[in-house]
Chains A and B, each alone.
Chain A
């Protein structure tokens, strides 16, 4: 059967939609492959509209707006231009071909132009062939119905919830409970235990937990509240009033798309010139979402892509040519913690197969989330996941011990280290990063009031529940870092840096000088000390 492209077109109400209308009333012929969605302004087209259109099997997405200068909202179309440019980079990374996303200016009088654009786009897509994401099984299609009671029963049994002493140590440790009176891990658990889960499931409570493990660390009864929350999120309502998922769920959509076996990403542009990597070998470096995050948060100028660049350069410097998967998939961390177990398991299986094919024995991750997911979660979900998993800080500190990594550049800075939840409380990796920082010549390492087991979370996890409370936590943490008198805040988690940059880019309730400070990724700082970056 011949392939007929399907195009989703977002047309601005004032110019382009009228233009399309004119094409119709003027009896101008154009292909029927286009499905038009009217929006008030091209600036209304959120990247997630585009991403979800592709996820749902569109072969092309067309966005049309007023010509520059003609926008009925003054600058909506210019915003659209910037946004589509960024979104196109994501489409490229996904390996769909950036040409599948098109932005055109069509005015009310340009009925002919609209027809030409559609005709041309349709022809182009015909030549490009079907989108690899076109699939009978859309990963976002509602999951198989779950037995809510069974899921809750299992969650209670597996997370020691019945041992709760009702002492409130969790709530008084919870960074969110301290700011939000209505939220309490203790009371959440209590409601489930006495059969009032329906008072929790439709609310934002289960989505509020930062899964930072502070409560778990301190709970005398070893109640694993974050795991309880994770298990219950499978059956929690996503239909609550507050916006639960930040960035309209793009990160989850991207992760879901990677479960499609036909996807062939184009994600290796970041590889620095002269860097040496291999197809097969003992050590696999898992890059993670850095290439995507670098695009999504490009306005923040955090240099997120420098992390994998630094890691590869450091590894090369000590004579390691790491295996890097050119079509590396998402580790699934965010899906797992938002309750999408089905797609997480799909990703886990794909990743394990990909890892095994390279012959790797060791997996190194610079991202605490990936590290946690491979080391802690994969072995629980998969049989035969028998890799040695290392965080880059563990590997580097081993190399320092062996004398294979020596620093000659002086980094004369007062550095404060933030323990990200995943690396710290989740995995207990507290000392290797400190050891690395302490061994940098000229560097003075200081500690925040709350460090190691007691470190305060950066405020957001798994892109969930970004709200005034999480902002409050972020500001609190930055103030604590600043109060140490350090001039550089180092962490191993890029997401922590994104969240802090986000809060400091907004209007602050405190004097900006109390919270703004230079931040650096641990691997990047090491690469700088080796004069590699």
Chain B
């Protein structure tokens, strides 16, 4: 049997990209499958990263380009895994390449089409805060920088076809199935947000000035809907006080998930500092239950937020947020557990830090692969201590948030681990064949 020297990586976020680059640099062929039109994942949506306060896109974009340029990596964006057969050393995989209705070879990414497209829909990349056209790139640094027609919202007016000088628009594109033969598989599907609407007491979805942290991340970002200006989208008001509420759905034995999402305390601190940076007159309060900041340099980061930036921490999980319908001002009810008094506080914006949960589509993918999931829907490790990136299936490895709660550095480290484990299979299979 001929040994297969290639690896399939599912998910084009930071973990999937890192695993792909590690494998590719060892001389292995990598197929990187990404469901959306561009690789980049969650990290591409972030404004800054903790605790170094790097511009997220600035450190991510080079990695994205590296994936794109690497001779050993084949990017399969806007594609999904449809079928997996075989076993370690020899998996036969069917990939569904969804039609973009744009010829990737011809599209130059000039954007003429989107300029003329008459359809505006909420922009997923901006968490629905901004708009995009029916023909779009998710964000300016997208890789590949090629346009995609969103079939669901396209009204087939053919304007883009008329405008495209490269003649890249192809309405007749059909879904395509690609057959691959790979020796190992790395799964890195990432996370989604717990639906904050379920905690009705905080009024998310009802009050326009109650946002999720991911929405707020876009609001702060220079590439976001306000161009990085910190203001309330509901009325354009410059906020004077912003409050964060932690553990919305996390650490909940009821009405959420019981685990700690692990990143929220630190990213709220980061966003708090960013607010103070944007506008020193805007007060920041972070309502927390326990500050779980256990990573390298994280406690120092929180200390800096308190001492240098004046971010205020209140040990309490608020019971309710209510809105004054006239002013849009929000009232937060909480019991200050250090003073033992039930109080309320007014704020212009309330930011909820929802639990980070495994993607709902992981269930389907696990079914296709034959992977086991744990009680929360995370991909199950073969052994939580000694084989965290291994699964119940030899030759299939997991990394990033789909394996369990973690932050960026941990995801990257784990991705390298998963890549190394995948490489072992390929090397072993190669030796056997000789």
Contact = CB atoms under 8 A, between A and B. Distances in A.
B135 to A, nearest CB: 40
A184 interface: yes
A167 B201 contact: no
Interface centre among B254, B256, B341 (most CB of A within 10 A): B254
Given A181-B341, A184-B335, A184-B342, A170 B253 contact: no
Interface in A14-42: none
B255 A169 contact: no
B336 interface: yes
Contacts of A86: none
B320 A173 contact: yes
Task: Report, as a range, how many residues of chain B touch the other chain.
Answer: 20 to 34
Interface string B188-221: 0000000000011100000000000000000000
A170 B340 contact: no
A172 B254 contact: no
Contacts, number: 87
A14 B247 CA distance: 68
B316 interface: yes
Interface centre among A170, A174, A178, A453 (most CB of B within 10 A): A178
B286 interface: no
A505 interface: no
A485 B253 CA distance: 39
Interface centre among A171, A172, A454 (most CB of B within 10 A): A172
A80 B344 CA distance: 47
Interface centre among B255, B319, B322 (most CB of A within 10 A): B319
B254 A220 contact: yes
Nearest to A181: B341
A163 interface: yes
B252 interface: yes
B252 A168 contact: no
Contacts of A167: 247, 289, 316-317, 337
Nearest to A160: B253
Contacts of B199: 218
A138 interface: no
B312 interface: no
B251 A220 contact: yes
Interface string A155-187: 000001001011111111110011001001011
B322 A169 contact: no
A168 B200 contact: no
A471 interface: no
B244 interface: no
Contacts of B316: 167-169, 172
Contact of B322 (A181, A221, A449): A449
Nearest to B206: A449
B400 interface: no
Contact of A173 (B201, B252, B253, B341): B201
B423 to A, nearest CB: 42
Nearest to B334: A172
B405 interface: no
A218 B256 CA distance: 11
A220 B297 CA distance: 29
A169 B254 contact: no
A273 to B, nearest CB: 46
Interface string B251-275: 1111110000000000000000000
A419 to B, nearest CB: 12
Contact of B342 (A174, A449, A452, A453): A174
B13 interface: no
B318 interface: yes
A165 B247 CA distance: 12
Interface string A388-425: 00000000000000000000000000000000000000
B254 A168 contact: no
A220 B317 contact: yes
Contacts of B344: 178
Interface class of chain B by DSSP: loop
A166 B316 CA distance: 8
B333 interface: yes
A178 B317 contact: no
A220 B335 contact: no
Interface in A204-219: 214-215, 217-219
A222 B255 CA distance: 9
Nearest to A220: B252
Contacts of A215: 319
Interface in B337-379: 337, 340-342, 344
B335 A171 contact: yes
A145 B254 CA distance: 36
Nearest to A172: B319
Nearest to B341: A181
A169 B318 contact: yes
Contacts of A217: 201
Interface string A211-250: 0001101111110000000000000000000000000000
Contact of A172 (B255, B289, B290, B335): B335
A99 B419 CA distance: 93
Nearest to B254: A222
Given A178-B333, A220-B256, A453-B201, A171 B342 contact: yes
A172 B320 contact: yes
Contacts of A222: 253-254
A220 B334 contact: no
B319 A187 contact: no
B253 A218 contact: no
25 contacts: A160-B253, A167-B316, A167-B317, A168-B335, A169-B318, A169-B335, A172-B316, A172-B318, A172-B334, A173-B319, A184-B342, A186-B335, A187-B340, A214-B319, A218-B201, A219-B254, A220-B252, A220-B253, A220-B256, A220-B317, A221-B252, A221-B253, A221-B254, A454-B200, A454-B201
Given A173-B319, A453-B201, 13 more contacts: A165-B289, A167-B289, A168-B335, A168-B342, A169-B318, A171-B319, A173-B320, A173-B333, A174-B319, A184-B340, A222-B253, A452-B200, A454-B320
